Amino acid sequence: MPSPYRALFAAPGSKSFSAAGLLGRMPLSMMGIGVVTMISQLTGRYGLAGALSATIALAAAAMGPQVSRLVDLHGQRRVLRPVTLFALTAAGGLLVAAHFGWPDWVLFACAAGIGSVPSIGAMIRARWAALYGGTPQLHTAYSLESVVDEICFIFGPIISIGLSTVWFPEAGPLLAAGFLTAGVFWLTSQRATEPRPHPREQHSGGSALRSAGLQVLVATFVATGTIFGAVDVVTVAFAEEQGHKGAASVVLALYAAGSCLAGAVFGLLHFKGAAEGRWLLGICAMAVSMIPLLLVGNLPFLAVALFVAGLSIAPTMITTMSLIEQHVPRAKLTEGMTWVSTGLAVGVALGSSVAGWVIDSAGAKAGYGVPAVSGAVAVAVGFLGYRRLSRPVLQRGGSHEHRSEREERHVA
């Protein structure tokens, strides 16, 4: 491991909470696809399988920020354990209901309950921020977490689909639930690195989403999530049209691998100047990388194009996390990070559904027009909101200060 990453773990407890975060994040990439695989095998109803997966995603988008807001208020241990037990109960109900063929409304109710799963990535990033806030090491820590995210998305779906198809239909979601249990309870047992909760009076300003800068980030990432959701669905359809549906998982893994590689390299670099310029450049790169997908004619070309497209993902996500720290009060940092994940989740659900409609109407190749249009929308939102991002509010401790004021004091 390169020395900047090794140096992160000099902090006591950092190795343990990072490992727990890896376990706890695996369900993010396993549960949705696991439910699709399980339901399609048990019932043969792909429409129902997709609707249940979308229900989980939308429920998580609705409940995730509220769970994170409670975490900022009461602490990770007090909130994560009961919320996780509720999500596990819902997951168990879904598995039992699917196995015994219970009515569809029971399946949807349980799927909605699974949406209460906490954003473990936000919890781990909040711990890094508590350790290294205001130092160059935080950039490296956020880069590491983006790499971990991509590792989960490379291996999670393969494990989930493989278990459900080779062993028994419920195996994928069941293992995802096991990862969630182990990760959350191991993480919350580590009290020394848990960010301190903030008293209620520090939440008098309402939701973190009232920040104008965060609104721009979330709106942009709805469009970005639409790219991700559309690419996944269209790639599976394109591979099936080419007669190699099984190759879709490998091609999508290369998409994640490109992001993983870029994130690892990005973490070794140290930048000067405002982060919002790098963020906008990243959004533009993501949009431009969708254009070659409109020209794909075979799977090898698609694999190369998606690998290249993935190179812009992790650096943009890393920079986004840095911007959140500048635009959201320290007392609402976990909630702010979760709102970006919420924007992505909404976009993924939207992209999946729109891409499916386009594929049914005009074929898989035409479906790549959806991520191309979504990239253009993301760029437009980024440019329109750039002025809001260029005047971030920074925090030192629990206080707020504008960057210009801080720079003046530094010069003085």
Distance CA 92, CA 234 (A): 31
Q: How many CB atoms lie within 10 A of CB 200?
A: 10
Under 8 Å between Cβ of 375 and 245: no
Q: What is the pLDDT of residues 29-71, one digit of tens each?
A: 788 778 877 887 888 776 677 778 778 888 888 888 888 888 8
Query: Does residue 129 register a pLDDT over 70?
Result: yes
Query: Does residue 120 register a pLDDT over 60?
Result: yes
401 forms beta bridges with 394
Torsion of CA 99, 67, 193, 3, to 10 degrees: 80
Q: Which helix (H) or strand (E) holds 373?
A: helix 369-384
Burial of 44 (0-12, 13-18, 19+ CB in 10 A): exposed
> For the structural domain made of 15-195, what CATH number should be given?
1.20.1250.20
Query: Does residue 271 register a pLDDT over 70?
Result: yes
Q: 100-109, 198-207, 331-340: which range is least confident on average? A: 198-207
Region for 138 from its dihedrals, namely left if φ exceeds 0, alpha if ψ lies in -120 to 50, beta otherwise: alpha
Q: 369 vs 199, which has greater pLDDT?
A: 369
In this structure, whether the domain defined by 207-412 belongs to CATH 3.10.20.30 is answered with no
pTM: 0.77
280 phi/psi in degrees, rounded to 5 = -65, -40
Ranges of CATH 1.20.1250.20 domains, the chain: 15-195, 207-412
Query: Does residue 393 register a pLDDT over 60?
Result: no
Distance CA 169, CA 49 (A): 13
Q: 296 vs 178, which has greater pLDDT?
A: 178
Residue 201's pLDDT is what? Answer: 45
Residue 412's pLDDT is what? Answer: 31
Residue 105's pLDDT is what? Answer: 93
Query: Does residue 1 register a pLDDT over 70?
Result: no
Q: Please give the DSSP secondary-structure letter assigned to residue 11.
A: S
Distance CA 228, CA 195 (A): 31
* Collapsed DSSP state (helix, strand, coil) of residue 395: strand
Q: Which of 218, 340, 202, 318 is nearest to 267 (CA)?
A: 318
Residue 42: what residue type? L
Distance CA 282, CA 217 (A): 13
Q: DSSP per residue over 284-308, as a string?
A: HHHHHTTGGGGG--SHHHHHHHHHH
Q: What is the pLDDT of residues 200-258, one digit of tens each?
A: 544 556 677 677 778 888 899 899 988 988 887 788 788 878 887 667 778 888 888 89
Distance CA 306, CA 290 (A): 8
Under 8 Å between Cβ of 371 and 363: no
Burial of 3 (0-12, 13-18, 19+ CB in 10 A): exposed
Those residues whose C-beta lies under 8 Å from the C-beta of residue 302, and which sit 6 or more positions away, are 235, 238, 251, 293, 296
Under 8 Å between Cβ of 123 and 21: yes
Mean of all residue pLDDT scores within the chain: 83
* Collapsed DSSP state (helix, strand, coil) of residue 370: helix
